[in-house]
Amino acid sequence: MAAGSANRYPMPRSVPAPNLGRAFKPPPTGSRLWRLLDLFSEANIWLYRRSGGRIGGRMGRAPVLLLHHRGRKTGEARVTPVLFLADDERLVIVASKGGAAKNPAWVGNLMAHPTTTVEVGRRRVDVRARRASEPERNAYWPRLLEMYPSYGIYQRRTDRVVPVVVLEPVGDR
């Protein structure tokens, strides 16, 4: 795992979004507040695409990609903004959900349908998703915390081991 290899996925300069997860715990599963958070995500996706990632492309120092995934039960196409760490050609994402008790739905969707697409700025990349092995997760975790320290807060809020997912390119578009 090469350190400092983020240049393969350059992001434009952008205005960082505030990290509200540091101050607020995630709402309970099934809460109406999740729908409000979904609306913020939809607005982020719209702004990200229109600006090529200049708006909605960062949270603090962490860059954001748009993760395409298909519902494992419904088959419905979905898009979720997710922070990422570039590691050579791989993209590493974290299923923190702010430290909620359950994984975000996109994890199960990716495991059921691992071949997908991500948008990084204006670039689209076809990828195959897999959970990081325990040694990989242990190696990535300090780099992920350096990029986005709140992951440590989120891990302490939950009893689950927060999954780290590796996205490996299968071809560029």
User: E strand or H helix at 66, and its extent?
Assistant: strand 62-70
Query: 121 near 55, Cβ under 8 Å?
Result: no
pLDDT band for position 41 (cuts 50, 70, 90)? confident
| Confidence check: pLDDT of 4 > 50 | no
| Confidence check: pLDDT of 167 > 90 | yes
| Confidence check: pLDDT of 172 > 60 | no
Q: pLDDT tens for residues 8-28?
A: 777 666 655 555 555 566 656
Look at domain 15-172 and name its CATH class: mainly beta
Evaluated on CA atoms 135, 151, 86, 132, the torsion sign reads positive
Decide which of 161 and 60 is more confident. 161
Residues 6+ apart with CB under 8 A from 100: 26, 29, 157, 158
Kind of pairing between the strands at 123-131 and 115-120: antiparallel
| DSSP one-letter code for 31 | -
Hey, what are 31's tokens? 């809460």
Residue % of the chain over a pLDDT of 90:
64
* Highest mean pLDDT out of 1-5, 156-160, 162-166: 162-166
| Confidence check: pLDDT of 170 > 70 | yes
Which pLDDT score is estimated for 61? 83
Hey, what are 77's tokens? 């196409």
In angstroms, the Cα distances linking 143 to 4, 32, 35, 73, 140 are 10, 34, 31, 34, 5
- Mean pLDDT over 113-138 rounds to 97
Q: pLDDT tens for residues 57-103?
A: 998 889 999 999 999 999 999 999 999 999 999 999 999 988 888 99
* Residue 18 CA neighbour count, 13 Å, CB half: 5
